[in-house]
Amino acid sequence: MNGKMRNKVGWLAAGVMAALAGCGPAKPELHVYTWCDYIAPEVISKFESKFNCKVVVDTFDSNEAMYAKLQAGSTGYDILMPSSYQIPAMAKNKMIVPLDHAKLPNVRKNFATDYASSILDPSFKYNVPYMVTYTGFAYRKDKVGDAPVDSWRIFESPALKGRMSLLSDMRETIGAALKCLGYSLNTTSQKEVDEAVALVLKWKENIAKFDNEQYKTAVASGEWFVGHGYSSDSTQILMDDEKGEVAFSLPKEGFSIAFDEMVISADSKQVELAHQFINFVYEPEIAKENMEYVYAPMPVKPALEILDPKLKGYVAQSAETLKRGEVLQDFDDKPAVRQMYINAWDKVKAGE
């Protein structure tokens, strides 16, 4: 090899070695599987900086889609964020692992105990509550007249015919009718479910459509006067409503509460880092930042106390109000009951 070639090879080798030295050891990656736009970007950046890691976020649009993907063998996630009702099946099928609460001091210290009665597992064996969503309805104060804005019976108002929507969701919409009739969201009674179907069919005659998305803009614009929907969506409308024309109701008969929770995957490669993330998001300032991004409450007491007053007025519910709420339960271990609800929803949707 001539001298010029030796020098060229030497320079290349030196350059490669310098580049490798500059890279240093690869940062650990925390893989989070959650709902879309559910963690403030600033929160992710702060966690990455504090723990010298990289957070990789993947998203799902329903608990069923998330569960099916995991059942099909998808791996590589560390933290999952299912709704409460999905967790028992995940634990039963060994998809998640029990938490080490010695590594989660912020959770016990900062958890807002007003929410304890609404959680399926307040022992937090597998789960730590993340965000809370209530299902009620947004309505136009300037359009509904004397319709009963504190009741599910608003969907029977003839004056609002064609200007209302119900969620295209089996459990939520049948559940609204069950609560209206004084029954549990989680009834296993065929008679009670049949009564709820009859009521929803009555409401169906009055609505514009079953819908999960359009109500957010339709109520805001005044195209629709009432939109059955989620508190986080409605809070965004309220925060943007400069004229004060929109309000959100949690009906007096009762409503559903959904907790999306943080659990650790059974095949996590970063169990320690996953615990650190859960503990991190329960820091008051971090939880506050998250709530102001998502427009939903986290059950973190000191964070709720320092939240923007306008947002707090929309998302923080009193203990008395929370008592009217009920958490939906899954019927994964009761296939006959599950089929009963599927059949009921088929009757509701027939003819569309």
95 falls within a domain: yes
**Cα separation values, 262 from 168, 211, 274, 301, 337, Å:** 26, 28, 10, 18, 27
- Cα 318–Cα 39–Cα 186 angle in degrees, nearest 5: 50
What is the pLDDT tens value at each position of the chain, 352 positions in all? 444 333 444 444 445 444 444 455 689 999 999 988 899 999 999 999 999 999 999 998 788 889 989 999 888 999 999 988 889 889 999 999 999 999 999 999 999 988 887 787 888 999 999 999 899 999 999 999 999 999 999 999 999 999 999 999 899 999 999 999 999 999 999 999 999 999 999 999 999 999 988 998 999 999 999 999 989 888 988 988 888 899 999 999 999 998 899 999 999 999 999 999 999 999 999 999 999 999 999 999 999 999 999 899 888 888 888 889 998 888 878 999 999 999 999 999 996 6
- 170 and 242 in a single domain? The answer is yes
Instruction: Report how many domains make up the chain.
Output: 2
322 falls within a domain: no
Tokens of residue 12, six digits: 């290349």
Strand ranges (E), the chain: 29-35, 54-60, 79-80, 96-97, 128-140, 164-166, 209-210, 226-230, 246-249, 255-265, 325-327
pLDDT at 8: 40
- 201 and 265 in a single domain? The answer is no
**Cα separation values, 299 from 50, 122, 273, Å:** 23, 12, 22
Tokens of residue 351, six digits: 């003819």
12 falls within a domain: no
Which residues touch 257 (CB under 8 Å, ≥6 apart)? 118, 132, 133, 134, 135, 322, 325, 326, 327
247 falls within a domain: yes
- 66 and 165 in a single domain? The answer is no
Tokens 């299902």 found at = 135
235 falls within a domain: yes
- 115 and 173 in a single domain? The answer is no
- 110 and 173 in a single domain? The answer is no
- 287 and 209 in a single domain? The answer is no
218 falls within a domain: yes
- What domain range is 270 assigned to? 29-132+257-316
101 falls within a domain: yes
10 falls within a domain: no
- 191 and 218 in a single domain? The answer is yes
Q: Judge whether 59 and 80 are in contact, CB under 8 Å.
A: no
Q: In angstroms, rounded to a whole number, what is the distance separating the alpha carbons of residues 82 and 262? A: 7
Query: What does the chain come to in residues?
Result: 352
pLDDT at 4: 34
- 75 and 39 in a single domain? The answer is yes
pTM beyond 0.85: no
Q: In angstroms, rounded to a whole number, what is the distance separating the alpha carbons of residues 179 and 256? A: 9
The candidate with the shortest Cα–Cα distance to 219, out of 298, 297, 136, 291, is: 136
What CATH number is given to the structural domain containing 92?
3.40.190.10
Residues 350, 186, 338, 126: what is their CA dihedral angle, to the nearest 10 degrees? 130
Q: Judge whether 328 and 312 are in contact, CB under 8 Å.
A: no
